[in-house]
Amino acid sequence: MSMMHAGSDDVGWRESGSKSGALGNALAILKEMDWLLLGGILMLATFGIHVLSGAVAGIPALEPVVGKQMFFLCIAFAAMIAVTLIDYRWINRVALILYGLNLIALVVVLGGKSINGARSWIDLGPINWQPAETMKLATILVNAQWLSMNPGELKQWRGLIPPAFICGVPAGLILLQPDLGSASLFFLLFMTMMLVSGYSKKILAMIILATAVGAVSVYPFLKPYQKERIAVFVNPERDPRGTGYNVIQSKIAIGSGGWMGEGWGQGSQSSHRFLPEHHTDFIFASAVEQFGFAGGAFIIGCYLLIIFRLVRTMDRARDRFGGIVIGGLVAILLGHITLNAGMTMGLVPVTGIPLPLLSYGGSFLITTCLSFGAALNVATRRYLLVGL
């Protein structure tokens, strides 16, 4: 990655809106807005509501989730706009506070109620907050802060220690929930941010190799259900009515969609509830079942557009902090897409990782839009020095 202005100061930024106040700042931001990135986000979010409403159509117990998701989406978009308007250098100043608060939440959640075998949520009334999701964003901000302020440390081994600690502590707490899928994303986050910041590729390759060897050696210590997931991943027919059931039904749903799908709300696997969690973890299978290969291609196309614009923003970021933040956001987004879509097709083990802007869930949707707000923030301030 090449950050064109990495490490430079604020000289050369265009002062916009300093005389006309907040209105001038807002207009300046709108002028520099990455409309393709925003358009991709809006298209995917809108299609997500369409997919979700079709997935739960005719199922009285689940139909209310559509209204809830639309409510969450309104909050999420408002949060995204708010983060876009705030100068991201101010976000830099509060990053450590956000990290600390989320770290406390991860400790608190360990003593909470277990749902589906994991203690991952804090009940906030209208929404169940999953600290693991907001922790990802907080970790990106703190890690980017350290990496951008200590470029000299990235030429030696000791430069690995602070970023590894920043990513490793929350990952360890999330493993205790237990949530192996979310915890694994912190390793991807660590490796990507180190790569984007300019750390030695040879050393990172050695870390990946050591991690692979370590993962094999850790297998005997995994929990029984985790071992079973691996075994069923290799052969879903091993337990067709148990652990392998979800993957088998997901493949059936995807296959039944054909080229153009069975139609909105007509997915047999979803409507008859053969496909479990078809509005959350397996929403991609439900989307392809309803809208076929064309619908799946549209979803992937929107993701590719968003990722392309994010990488473009990362490469053109005004400073190291902004560029490294975008690198972390790309890592998390790709991780979620790959693990979720991959598990629905039986390409990776089932992890319970949601799909951005499609899976039902308030805290994940809001966190996703907060992340996109941070990306739009960096994109609009390539030249501008404004903030509301």
Using DSSP, state whether 214 is helix, strand or coil. helix
Please name the residue that has the structure tokens 């392809």: 288
Interatomic CA distance for residues 364 and 124, integer angstroms: 14
Amino acid 217: pLDDT: 82
Token pair 């609009």 is found at: 380
Say what the pLDDT of residue 21 is.
57
Q: What is the pTM of this model?
A: 0.87
Distances in whole angstroms, Cα of residue 371 to Cα of each of 74, 178, 270, 292, 379? 15, 24, 30, 29, 13
Cα→Cα distances 261→29, 128, 273, 297, Å: 40, 33, 17, 12
pLDDT for the residue 388: 39
Separation of alpha carbons 294 and 93, rounded Å: 44
The amino acid at residue 380 is T
pLDDT (tens digit per residue) in 358-380: 999 888 999 999 999 999 988 88
According to the model, what pLDDT value does residue 24 have?
60
Quote the CA–CA distance of 150 and 24 in Å, as a whole number: 35
Helix axes 21-32, 362-380, angle to 10 degrees: 90
pLDDT of residue 218: 78
pLDDT at 113: 64
pLDDT of residue 241: 77
Bridge partners of 175, per DSSP, are: none
Residue-by-residue pLDDT tens, the chain, 388 positions: 444 444 444 433 444 444 455 566 667 677 778 899 999 999 999 999 999 999 998 888 888 999 999 999 999 999 999 998 887 777 878 889 999 999 999 998 887 666 666 677 777 777 778 899 999 999 999 999 999 888 888 878 888 899 999 999 999 999 988 888 889 999 999 999 999 998 888 888 888 898 888 878 877 877 787 777 677 777 777 777 777 788 888 999 999 889 999 989 888 888 777 888 889 999 999 999 999 999 999 999 999 999 999 999 998 888 888 899 999 999 999 999 999 999 998 888 888 899 999 999 888 999 999 999 999 988 887 654 444 3
- The end-to-end CA distance of the chain, in Å, is 30
Please tell me the predicted confidence (pLDDT) of residue 15. Answer: 43
Q: Residues 138, 98: contact at Cβ < 8 Å?
A: yes
Q: Report d(CA 25, CA 15) in Å as an integer.
A: 9
The position carrying tokens 């590894």 is 164
**Which residue type occupies 207?**
I
Indicate the domain borders of the chain: 21-380
Contact 340, 1 (CB under 8 A): no
Please report the pLDDT score of residue 278 as a whole number: 87
Q: State the pLDDT at residue 64.
A: 92
Q: What six digits make up the tokens of 300?
A: 């992937």
- Token pair for 56: 């739960």
